[in-house]
Chains A and B, each alone.
Chain A
Amino acid sequence: MRAQFVLSEIGVGLRRNLTMTFAVVVSVALSLALFGGALLMREQVSTMKDYWYDKVNVSIFLCSKSDVTSTPKCARGAVTKEQRDQIERDLNNLDVVDTVTHETADEAFNHYQDQFGDSPMASNITPDQMQESFRVKLHDPKKYKVVATAFAGRDGVQSVQDQRSILDNLFGLMNGMNVAAIFVMALMLVIALMLIVNTVRVSAFSRRRETGIMRLVGASGFYIQMPFIMEAAFAGLIGGVLACVMLLAGRYFLIDGGLALQSKLNLIDFIGWDAVFTKLPLVLAIGLLMPAVAALFALRKYLKV
């Protein structure tokens, strides 16, 4: 089989069908960009989970003097030294607990000043408004319930807070967006497939003279079908390349330039370029293979051999 002959046939076919080719390229590009975006979003969520779950603690807030009137649980008075020592001993005896740090109200105040020192709120806060707490790090952050049940009802404990639950709301939102992206992707994929099938049908019809002659002189089925399949694959590959460009541009726009989330949200650990690059071969491969397979099935119906 001669490459030059086949390639020239593909070029002719694509040009003849320019509008349909364009539609295929755009729909493949969009669906693959969404697909890649969903993959990256998932990776972003998992990166953030790793990063944050490692940092989050279970906080056991102790009753301060000001809580006695405001919080029913602290009605029996501020935490005593015995209560505090007992809590610390019990925490250290729990298997699930990794480390325990005690943070006094003054230390909490200092941390707060460090983090939010230049905001107007900070100047109104006084040390006695801050809470004394135990910061408990668990071997497995998911075992939060053990700590919560053990300490929530105790005298001197104002509340037990799992910082993970705050993050889970955020992750839930991101996962929701992910599902939405996959849904849109599936829809675009169906559109892309239907366009490919239709393009192949039009293409096969407009070249029925050539294919008829090919059949008569004994060209093999594969030989007759290959230009059509290559056409679809070529258009798909262009779509895949566009999708890759969109993903790279998207990462740049969101994280580095444009929205510049990296500098605005410096607490979040964003995925790197390498994460994007590792997705590109997959996107390209799907862009190449999916239209080729769709074309193959379309040809079975529209191109009798």
Chain B
Amino acid sequence: MIRFDNVSKTYPKQSRPALRDVSLDIEKGEFVFLVGSSGSGKSTFMRLILREERASQGAVHVLGKDLARLSNWKVPHMRRQLGTVFQDFRLLPNKTVAENVAFAQEVIGKPRGEIRKAVPQVLDLVGLGGKEDRMPGELSGGEQQRVAIARAFVNRPMLLIADEPTGNLDPQTSVGIMKLLDRINRTGTTVIMATHDQNIVDQMRKRVIELEQGRLVRDQARGVYGYQH
């Protein structure tokens, strides 16, 4: 599903690489936590998968494709198979909940009949049935993140990438979001989640990948947030 072969990334005008010689495999259907302090390279790792950046060295394979060889105009098609969720939700404030979700289908040219069917379905899945016509500003943080997850999932991606999805939420709400992500994972969707939330990682007992100063320092199945000595 995802393979990093000796990947390094150095941003222009910076001497210190953001990622150094990272190699790993993520299989289909896995749930992976990506941990590490700020500046450890988590965001770069995510951006490489989304091909917002290209690796300086090494090869990144996503969904069986070498991203270095993927031409620019094919990138949008690759991204349609990925869903993304962010800490700051990134909803359109002037569109309703249903319109925000539908936006993800409209911009890739899905027929209207299909959108009308898929949007209520996915809103039900994330637990927002009946709130289709609310504006994002009227919703709580947890609900807004559910809208964002619905938008990321409405096109049934193979891979869901979540960058600190619970970063702005209280612990109780976070648990709800994690349950939702777990449910999505059980449908066969691979989930990669960057997080600083120790409780969540410790409770879920999923694979944990830790980065430190751009290096892969730990890759542990059924791991916890920090080392347990």
Contacts and interface: CB of A to CB of B under 8 A. Distances in A.
Interface string B62-80: 0000000000110011111
A213 B92 contact: yes
Interface residues of A, number: 18
Contact of B107 (A209, A217, A305): A217
Given A218-B79, A219-B76, A221-B73, A213 B103 contact: yes
A2 interface: yes
A221 B82 CA distance: 17
B86 to A, nearest CB: 9
A216 B109 contact: no
Given A212-B90, A213-B92, A220-B73, A2 B79 contact: no
B78 A2 contact: no
B90 A215 contact: no
A273 interface: no
Given A210-B92, A213-B90, A218 B108 contact: yes
A183 interface: no
A216 B75 CA distance: 10
Given A2-B106, A5-B106, A214-B107, A221 B90 contact: no
B123 interface: no
B80 A217 contact: yes
A218 B90 contact: no
Contacts of B84: 216
Interface in A231-249: none
A5 B115 CA distance: 13
A1 B106 CA distance: 8
A226 to B, nearest CB: 11
A223 interface: yes
Nearest to A222: B73
B149 to A, nearest CB: 13
A209 B86 CA distance: 13
Given A2-B106, A2-B112, A5-B106, A218 B77 contact: yes
A216 B79 contact: yes
A107 B155 CA distance: 94
A219 B107 contact: yes
A219 B90 contact: no
Contacts of A214: 107
Given A209-B92, A220-B73, A215 B79 contact: yes
B79 A209 contact: no
B67 to A, nearest CB: 14
A125 to B, nearest CB: 82
Contacts of A216: 50, 79, 84, 90
A66 B74 CA distance: 92
Nearest to A220: B76
B209 interface: no
Contacts of B78: 218
A8 to B, nearest CB: 11
Most A C-beta atoms less than 10 A away, residue of B50, B79, B92:
B79
Interface in B100-132: 103-104, 106-109, 112
A217 B90 contact: no
Nearest to B90: A213
B151 interface: yes
Contacts of B103: 213, 217
A218 B80 contact: yes
Given A2-B106, A5-B106, A209-B90, A217 B155 contact: yes
Nearest to B104: A217
Contacts of B73: 220-221
Contacts of B80: 217-218
A207 to B, nearest CB: 10
A221 B76 contact: yes
Interface of B: 50, 72-73, 76-82, 84, 90, 92, 103-104, 106-109, 112, 151-152, 155
Given A213-B90, A217-B152, 4 more contacts: A5-B106, A212-B90, A217-B104, A305-B72
20 contacts: A2-B109, A2-B112, A5-B106, A209-B90, A209-B92, A212-B90, A213-B92, A214-B107, A215-B79, A216-B84, A217-B104, A217-B108, A217-B155, A218-B79, A218-B81, A218-B108, A219-B107, A221-B72, A224-B107, A305-B76
